[in-house]
Every structure is written in structure tokens, then in C-alpha cells.
A and B are shown apart, each in its own frame.
Chain A
């Protein structure tokens, strides 16, 4: 199999490329990123790196029908979405949605590409008190026009791929991944946990499922190898209450009345510059929402196994 990976210079893209190169069934990897010289990618004769701005439709087209065709690429892993929650505007939208659409439609008429793996997020699901705690693939999506662009774009990109599920010979699959708590993954929880004191809504302690990067990479590999077409939730191995996540990160959790949290975190964002936005997380921090990964288990044979490398093993006991 010859695979094109977008977002190659992001930490998750790099981890995926290393895993693909370790798999002898993968003949070649065409890594695509924005950086001119990727410093973290391994040197391998089975790896080709190409700097390309995929927000330009012509560049995406030429990549697929030029180098992609020459290398005989038969699968694409696309997860190069904009990660900063505070950014917004047409360029961000182009990266999140237009790039996905362009890659997808070009792949559908491409002579060699037969598999399209879209690495999405479970944050596309609507979290409400009335919605299920356990989110399967049929759960309601977030269509609130007041939702931040970060979420709206992801919903649109997800549905763009869904619209192509049976439209061509291409076999697309959407992976709605639980949150990977890691730097460079666009993780709001990661940023939330960078403060010594983490504020959380008073009276609520929702359950949150977290995914390790190793499991995410393994799920993508399974999706590449599987013929399954459709949407699969990718759950992590661990589900914790928010208070326990804060404690395991070695932070102090401070319950604060819910209405105060958004202004306090906005103030933090202005003064310290962190990315965490409470308005993006308010419903999750009240009602939780845990992805149901049974379809991925049945269709892809994926089962989460790798726990998160928590800085603190249990309350008060710091890992060596």
C-alpha cells in the first residue's frame, strides 16, 4: 500500500508516519506538510516529503495527479485540520473544509486512490443534557450556529466526507476520535491542564474519555487496512471524571460557579495567551459525553489498549 499523509509535520502526523514506515506492508509514504524542511521525520527510502499548501486547490490537485500519481498512491490519510481554537476566518475554514473537499473530490476521480481516511474528532457531537451520555455514530451532531468555528468547521468537514461515502469507487472512512491529550494535537484539555489551578463547574464532574496517541495511530492503521466504509468512533482506553483528570495531571481542581468560568478563562486567554476556550468546552464540562467505540471494534478490529502517560499515577503519588 502506498499512502499519502497530510499534516505530516504535526506531532500526530509524525507519529503516524513512523508507525507506517515500521509496517512492511506499506511500500511508500508521501508525507505532506507546510514546513519546507521537516526536521522530525525519519530518513527512509520509503518516505517522500513534499511541502505543499493544501488550502490552494490547484496545489492539492497537482499533488494528487502529479507526484501522487507517479508514486501510485492508493490511500490518503487526511487529518490536517487547523489546531488553534482562537483562530478563525476564511483561511482557517479553507484549511479545515475546502482542503478536505478538494482532496476528496480529486481522490474520487483519481486513477489509483481507493481509500480515504479522514481523521476527525468526536467533538462534532452535540452535547446536551437531553442527549445520550454514550455517543454512538448516530448521535446528534453539533449544528448550533453559535458554536465556535473550530467545531462548525469540523462538523462540515466530517459531513463533506460522509456525503461521499457511496458516491464513487473511493472507500472513505471517517474516524471520530476522542480527545488526544498531547501537545500539538489541538487538544483543549492539554491546554486546560497547563495551569496549576484548573477551574471546573461547581456541582458537575462529567466523564471524559481520552485517547492516547499510540491508540489513535493504531486506529488509523486499522482503517487503512480495513475495507469498511462509513463512520467509526475511536474511543480511548480510559474514561475519567474531569476532577480525576485534573488530579492525575498533578493540578489543583477548583470548582467555580459555571457562569463565572467563561469570563475567567477569557481573561486568562487575554493575559497569559493560552488556547483553552471555556465556551467550546462548557457543555462537555457539564454533561460529559463518552464515545461508544463498539463499531470500530467490530468493523476495524480496533480496541483501545494504551493508557495515557499521566504525570501522576494516583492522587498524591507522582510517577518517577
Chain B
């Protein structure tokens, strides 16, 4: 059913996302804006969250792939640090898949679209993979950022959309564990009946800004599913494949937590 190995793909795409002659792609990605945001975020990346990474050689330099990670925090600081880490190391712009309420957020929606964030719908993701893009999906969805402190590093709902795309488009999945994000902006409570801008709940964080917790990003070996593309419609195949990616992320989390604890002990 699956093999692991180098994240090269049958169809290769560009290292830099394709943009139209206008300089924008159809979703609004604008490379000068990407570079500007990367410059502005330097302090947060290097000094505030002191991001380090291992296994980044698993991120393909060309061609489509799906990055799959744990998710947490009131705002997507983890997704931002992952985006920055991949951009700084490979020059590739990760196309992060956001929840469907994000386009309703003023200012945020525009900024996100300029740096490559795309609303989570099938036609959007299909287009990205067919154009050789590096897509980041957080299968926990909004349940990830809604974790209580007791649920830190315990994966919540693990949706199957990412494996469906991986099987249908024959692209590898790179499992990722982000350590540190879950403590950086813990949630005190969430108010489920308040849907500001269509968000599923109103988060009440412990602090107004994220805490300066050190981030460690662990990239795992690519997972390739050898199932025929038609099997992407089979719920059992998808459930089995999603269990494999979930297991891979859980192992990376466990390994990352041990490595962090050992680092603290030294």
C-alpha cells in the first residue's frame, strides 16, 4: 500500500510557484509580498520562536507534495513558522490550506492570499497539486487550535482529505511534527456559540500574544501510497491511509518531545 523514499514525483513542477504574467497567481500569491513578509518575520523566526528543524531534506525541491502536520495555537503561528522554514531553506512557497471562514476575515484574507494561503476546497487543492505546488494541510482542522492544555500533542479529529488527494494525484505526503507551538499560545477556553466572521468558535487564549517558546520542526520521510487513483473514492482505503499518516505524525511528535526533553536536560 505504501512506500517511503525520496520525495521526488512523477510530475515535476517549479521550485517557485507559477504566477501569471501579472505577477499574481489565480489565488493572489505575489512573490514580492512573500519576500517582504519573510523579511518582516525574521525576528519572530530567529529570535522570538528560535525555530530549528531536522529532516528538511525530505521536503522536495521540485514537484507536488503534501505537508501534513499537527496543529495548534489561537492563530496559526505553527503554520507561519512552517511556511517560513520551508521558504528559507528551499525557496519554495508552501501553499497552506486554510479553513473556509478565512476569506471572510478582513485584512487577514488579503495578506494570506498574497503569501500563498488558499481556501480549503477541492478545486483549489486540485489546481495546486496539478501545478506542482507544495501544499500544507492540517488534518486536525479547527479542532487542532481548539485543543485544551490537557490535549496538547494529542492529535484530534484526523480528516482524510489529504490522503485522498495524495492517492488521486499520486503525490507524496511529508509528515511533520511541530514541537513548541502547542505551548506557545494555549487556550483558556473557547466559546462555541460565538461565530465571529464565521469562525467555528471564539477562542480565549491565556495570553494576548504568543509566548516565546522555542519551535522545533521535524520533517519525516515521505510516504507514498501506491494505490491506484480510483481507490481514492474507497472510504476504507482512505481511513487506512489516514491512519498511516496519523501514526507517522504521532511518532514524530513523540520523537520530538523526547529530543526536546533531552536537550533541556543537557
- Chain A positions within 8 Å of B, measured between CB atoms, are 129-136, 138-139, 201-207, 209, 237-241, 244, 258, 286-288, 290, 292, 307
Contacts and interface: CB of A to CB of B under 8 A. Distances in A.
A130 B195 CA distance: 14
Contacts of A287: 103-104
B48 interface: no
Contact of A129 (B100, B110, B113): B100
Interface residues of B, number: 27
A136 B123 contact: yes
Nearest to B105: A203
Contact of A133 (B24, B26, B104): B26
B100 A207 contact: no
Interface in B80-120: 100-107, 109-110, 113, 118-119
Contact of B22 (A136, A238, A292): A238
Given A202-B106, A204-B106, A207-B26, A239 B20 contact: yes
A211 to B, nearest CB: 14
Contacts of B107: 203
B121 A237 contact: no
22 contacts: A129-B104, A130-B100, A130-B121, A132-B122, A133-B27, A134-B26, A134-B123, A134-B124, A134-B127, A136-B123, A202-B106, A203-B105, A203-B106, A204-B109, A207-B24, A207-B113, A237-B20, A238-B20, A238-B21, A286-B103, A286-B104, A290-B27
B212 interface: no
B30 to A, nearest CB: 8
Contacts of A133: 26-27, 103, 118-119, 121, 124
Contacts of A286: 103-104
Contacts of A131: 121
A164 B119 CA distance: 34
Contact of A132 (B25, B101, B121): B121
B137 to A, nearest CB: 16
Contact of A239 (B26, B109, B119): B26
B198 interface: yes
A131 B110 CA distance: 16
A203 B28 CA distance: 14
Nearest to A287: B103
Given A203-B109, A288-B28, A307-B21, 9 more contacts: A129-B102, A132-B119, A134-B27, A136-B123, A203-B110, A207-B24, A240-B22, A241-B24, A241-B28
Nearest to B19: A239
Contacts of A258: 106
B110 A205 contact: yes
A292 B28 contact: no
Nearest to B29: A207
Interface in B122-137: 122-124, 127
Nearest to B122: A132
Interface string B222-251: 000000000000000000000000000000
Nearest to A243: B110
B21 A209 contact: no
Nearest to B28: A207
Nearest to A207: B28
Contacts of A138: 123
B234 to A, nearest CB: 21
From B102, B121, B123, residue with most partner A Cβ within 10 Å = B123
A134 B123 CA distance: 6
Nearest to A258: B106
A132 B123 contact: yes
B24 A240 contact: yes
A129 B121 contact: no
Nearest to B197: A129
A307 B119 CA distance: 27
A209 B27 CA distance: 11
A238 B118 CA distance: 19
A131 B104 CA distance: 11
A179 B159 CA distance: 37
A129 B118 CA distance: 11
Pick the most buried of B105, B107, B109, B122: most chain A CB atoms within 10 A of its CB.
Answer: B109
Contact of B26 (A201, A202, A209): A209
A204 to B, nearest CB: 6
A258 B22 CA distance: 26
A239 B103 contact: no
8 closest A-B pairs by CB? A203-B106, A132-B121, A132-B123, A130-B100, A129-B103, A129-B104, A203-B107, A290-B26
A309 B11 CA distance: 36
Contacts of B101: 129-130
